[in-house]
């Protein structure tokens, strides 16, 4: 499965208890939906055929996953990402985007000057932030991903238009 055919939907945050349950960080809008997208591909190779959600713990779901029966097995998977096939995921409305589709897009200001490329999409709890990196920038710049600041997202042409607040891209 190529990278453009899959989307990251979560990661394993370690063990929960001693019977092989894992703490699961879901990146889905509805966290419990992660169990609906199986089979998932683990970043270390194997597929996960079944996820059974059993509870919640400190910002994560608690789940049983096939093949994991001990605390040690669950702990060994800490940090492993879980990927779903794009075809398994629901279509999004026109004004919503999968983070994976935004990474790598070129960012331009409203005058058409290049600002750099989107390196990552981060979430600070309120709005998503686009991490922009490019020539002429000493460090990456975090841009709030709001309609006012990012009025145009054109996936077909691989670009976004950013109307940054004053001083954001200045040294």
- The 10s digit of each residue's pLDDT in 73-128 is 999 999 999 999 988 888 888 788 888 889 899 999 999 999 999 998 887 667 78
pTM beyond 0.85, yes or no: no
Residue-range domain boundaries for the chain: 3-88, 99-162
Predicted confidence at residue 39, as pLDDT, reads: 94
Please tell me the predicted confidence (pLDDT) of residue 25: 92
Residue 3 has pLDDT above 70, yes or no: no
Please report which confidence band the pLDDT of residue 29 belongs to, taking 50, 70 and 90 as the band edges: confident
Chain segment 114-163, per-residue pLDDT in tens: 999 999 888 766 778 999 998 878 889 999 999 999 999 998 899 999 99
Q: And the tokens for 35?
A: 């169990």
* Confidence at residue 134, expressed as pLDDT on a 0 to 100 scale: 86
Which residues sit opposite 120 in a β-bridge?
Answer: 131
Tell me, which fold does domain 3-88 have in CATH? Answer: Elongation Factor Tu (Ef-tu); domain 3 (2.40.30)
Q: In whole angstroms, give the CA distance from residue 43 to residue 75.
A: 15
Other C-beta atoms closer than 10 Å to the C-beta of 112 total 7
99-162 — its CATH code?
2.30.30.240
Q: Determine contact, residues 13/78, Cβ cutoff 8 Å.
A: yes
Which tens digits make up the pLDDT trace of 37-72? 999 999 998 999 999 999 998 889 999 999 899 999
Confidence category of residue 171, pLDDT binned at 50, 70, 90: low
Bridge partner residues of 62 (DSSP)? 23, 55
> What strands lie across the sheet with 141-144, from one edge to the other?
141-144, 128-133, 114-123, 106-109, 159-162, 152-154
Find the largest Cα–Cα distance for the chain: 58
Quick count: other Cβ atoms within 10 Å of Cβ 132? 24
The answer to whether residue 170 scores a pLDDT higher than 80 is no
pLDDT at 67: 87
Q: So what's the pLDDT on residue 1?
A: 45
Tokens of 94: 């026109």
């Amino acid at each position: 499965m190529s990278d453009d055919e899959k989307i990251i939907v979560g990661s394993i945050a370690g063990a929960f208890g001693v019977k092989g349950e894992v703490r699961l960080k879901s990146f889905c809008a509805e966290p419990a939906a992660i169990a609906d997208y199986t089979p998932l591909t683990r970043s270390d190779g194997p597929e996960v055929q079944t996820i059974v959600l059993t509870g919640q713990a400190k910002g994560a779901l608690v789940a049983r996953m096939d093949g994991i029966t001990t605390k040690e097995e669950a702990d060994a998977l800490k940090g492993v990402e879980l990927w779903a096939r794009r075809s398994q995921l629901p279509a999004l409305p026109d004004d919503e985007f999968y983070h994976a589709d935004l990474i790598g897009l070129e960012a331009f200001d409203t005058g058409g000057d290049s600002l750099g490329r989107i390196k990552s999409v981060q979430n600070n709890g309120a709005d998503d932030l686009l991490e922009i990196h490019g020539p002429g920038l000493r460090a990456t710049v975090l841009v709030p991903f709001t309609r006012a600041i990012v009025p145009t997202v054109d996936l077909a042409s691989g670009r976004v238009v950013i109307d940054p607040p004053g001083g954001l891209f200045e040294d």
